[in-house]
Amino acid sequence: MPELPEVEVVRAGLERHVVGATITRVEVLHPRPVRRDPGGPAGFAAALAGRRIEAARRRGKYLWLPLDNGDALLGHLGMSGQILVQPADAPAERHLRVRFVLEGSDEGRPFDTARPSPTQDKEMRFVDQRMFGGLSISTGGADLPPEIAHIARDPLDPEFDDDLFVRKVRKRTSGVKRQLLDQNLISGVGNIYADEALWRARIHGERPGDRLTAAQVRELLGHARDVMVSALGQGGTSFDALYVNVNGESGYFDRSLHAYGREGEPCERCGTPIRRVAFMNRSSYFCPVCQPVPRKRRTPARPVPMPD
């Protein structure tokens, strides 16, 4: 599943290529991606026609494009979603679901590496093989769509509260990896980057939050930030052709991973084979030496009743 760095790469691409453009026409080629929009495919298309894209924003793994009428086009990539910006005459992708025909662009900036004329016709395309992603119109959601207002800020957000995060983690008895994936506590840290941050911090994902020191939680948060910043610099991870930016280019950070996806390979610190275990219908990867499994809590013995 695309994680924060992948989604941020897409957001930045949209900011560069479609901000300032006007949506002249929308074609919904499959109804499932707009299933959450109350207007249905026809209402979705009609509401967006003629609207100007004002910005490109993100909260966690959600993207939204504020529109000139105060509404927003809200999107989530799901498992395999892509948002591409293509020349209007480019062949349709195999799993093209929604097509947005655009006119104009912010400051006339080009949208592909060939550097075409700014007036060249282009399209924004939502491509999704598995169709777990989706698009909808958020009424009055230009600043922050109410549908995602409950989602916490991510570690790269300048307004993220480190002290509050540390306090909340240390009050909970649940495993720290589970907390890293809790979008109400911290957003954007998915399975891949959680494993990488935990490996760097030498902490096992099942370690309860209340058994971590404030310094350990703060260090782990710092590693999560470092991992995501590094991934941003390389365009995110790319384990298959599904993870691409708006130009269809894959990321390369998967080549820099220390734990995730490396089952049986030697730990780069101690040489012990990386281990994989099942976790929340996914997998966790860790070094059993550098990240020892936490001891189970001792259950207080019940007093033995004395005979009368």
pLDDT in tens, 70-102: 999 999 999 889 999 999 999 999 999 999 999
Catalytic pick from 51, 57, 58, 61? 61
CA 194/CA 102 separation, integer angstroms: 37
Ligand-binding annotation for 125, yes or no, is no
Q: Is 282 a catalytic residue?
A: yes
Ligand-binding annotation for 17, yes or no, is no
Question: Any alpha helices (H) in the chain, and if so which ranges?
Answer: 4-17, 40-48, 162-171, 176-180, 191-201, 214-233
CA 88/CA 120 separation, integer angstroms: 8
Which amino acid type is present at position 8?
E
CA 131/CA 124 separation, integer angstroms: 17
pLDDT in tens, 275-300: 999 999 889 999 999 999 998 866 66
pLDDT in tens, 191-216: 988 999 999 999 999 999 999 999 99
Q: Is 61 a catalytic residue?
A: yes
Ligand-binding annotation for 172, yes or no, is yes
Residue tagged 């101690």 (tokens): 270
Phi/psi of residue 62, each to 5°?
A: -95, 140
For residue 185 the two structure tokens come to 């506590």
Cβ–Cβ under 8 Å, residues 199 and 266? no
pTM: 0.80
Strand order, beta sheet including 57-59: 57-59, 62-66, 72-76, 134-138
For residue 296 the two structure tokens come to 């189970």
Catalytic pick from 2, 5, 33, 145? 2
